[in-house]
Structure formats: structure tokens, C-alpha cells
Chain A
């Protein structure tokens, strides 16, 4: 009689830390409205990079710096 092999223990994927976030995501992380994030970008308090089609991205390191958790 064939025995059913025990399933291999599943490895739980660790959440990968993102390198950069959209303005909306950055706003959620900072706890502010996204207009405030655009204001921080405009006055150079948050440095950004751009995705392929020009969308603004805020590097994680910039957010951490602003939140004082780096």
C-alpha cells in the first residue's frame, strides 16, 4: 500500500523591503495627506527618483530619515 508522502514544510516568504514608494504610499507611511508630500518634495526635504514613465518615487531611506528611524 502506497504511503502518502508528508508535505514538505513550507517556507514562509519574508516580506521584501521596498526600495522606493509612490507619493501616496509615502503619505500613508508618514501619516500625512499626499499634498504635504508634494510640498516636502518641492522644498527639497524629500528627495525623489522617477519610474520609467515619470512617476515620482520616494526612496525608503528618505522616508526613514524624515521619520527619524534610520
Chain B
């Protein structure tokens, strides 16, 4: 693919249409990237806050699906919280997700350990992997949408533009797109 290839009018039109069609996905992907970025930026502060609240304990107890009981310290997101519990080896920390489904609720320990900073780092690393899965799926959906809407047309340039747009949100490197946007305005 020529990096300086200009999009055809049809590709321009397809890009604008697909962007509208996937507007909700793009907006939510961006918001989730920002949420994760904020957690990453405030990781040290959050870790210190947890040490601050741990001795006092919020009094809220969560029993996870594996039967363990955790004292809730801080909510990271709407569904995930940092918790702790006493073990013979000392305090154990965990990121716990409470996910209410239609018929049941999943209460999972996403990751745990004795170093709260490491627990938070593992959590953010895992969330980046989730965003990567999401990004790849959105790109596949864009590819499928374009193939159905514009059969027998080369829409690789449009798909690549979406890929770059999402990658930019993902990495938050604002300068990336300018040099590699293939002429399609993002």
C-alpha cells in the first residue's frame, strides 16, 4: 500500500458513512481509553489512597464467586473495585469485578497480590488487552460493513484509516495520524 495514496471520492464517501455508522463505537472506545489512561496516570495516588483507607476499612464486604471475602477499599470503575483481605502472609489486594447479568451476578477476582501497585499495574495491562480485542473487533466490523455496502470495491484504505484512528486513541500519541492518514481526513 502506498502511504501517500489519495482516497477516491467513493472511499471518501464510504469513510464518512462508516464513521457515522460506527459513531457510537468510536465515541465509547475513546471514552474507555481515556478512563484507562486516567487510572494509569493516577496509579501511584490510587495505591497510596488504598494504603490510607485499608487500616480504617470501609466496612463493605464482597464475597467473590470463589468463596473468598474481601473488604472493599476503592471503586476503580462502575464495575471494578480494589479490595483487600487479611491472610497469614499479610494483606492481600485484589481488583474485583461485580458484573450483574440478567439472571445472575458474576463476582470475579480479576487479579490479586500482596503489592497493591503491582495489582493495579496488572489490571491496567489487562484492560489494555481488552481494548485491543475491542479495537480489532471494531475494525473487523468496519471491514464487513464496507464489504456489504460497497461490494467489489477496494476499501482497504478506509479500513486502514479506522485502524489508525483507533490506534491513536489507544496509544494517545496525537501526532501519529498526521503522517499516516493516507489522505483520508480523520
Most buried by A among B101, B106, B136, B137: B137
B129 within 8 A of A: yes
Number of residues of chain B lying within 8 A (CB) of chain A: 26
Query: A67 touching B102 by the CB < 8 A rule?
Result: yes
Chain B residue numbers with a CB within 8 Å of A40 are 99
Chain B residue numbers with a CB within 8 Å of A52 are 144
Query: A23 touching B137 by the CB < 8 A rule?
Result: yes
**Would you list which residues of chain A between 29 and 61 have a CB under 8 Å from chain B?**
29-32, 35-36, 38-43, 45, 50-56
B126 within 8 A of A: yes
Closest residue of A by beta carbon distance from B136? A54
Chain A residue numbers with a CB within 8 Å of B144 are 51-53, 55
Query: B141 touching A38 by the CB < 8 A rule?
Result: no
Chain B residue numbers with a CB within 8 Å of A42 are 126, 129-130, 133
B107 within 8 A of A: no
B97 within 8 A of A: yes
- Known contacts being A35-B28, A39-B130, is A30 close to B137, with CB within 8 Å? no
- Known contacts being A36-B79, A53-B143, is A43 close to B110, with CB within 8 Å? yes
Closest residue of B by beta carbon distance from A35? B32
Q: Mark A8-40, 1 if CB is under 8 A from B, else 0.
A: 000000000000001100000111100110111
Which chain B residues have a beta carbon within 8 Å of chain A's beta carbons? 28, 32, 79, 97, 99-104, 106, 108, 110, 126, 129-130, 133-134, 136-137, 139-141, 143-144, 147
Given A30-B102, A54-B136, 4 other A-B contacts at CB below 8 A?
Answer: A38-B130, A52-B144, A53-B140, A53-B143
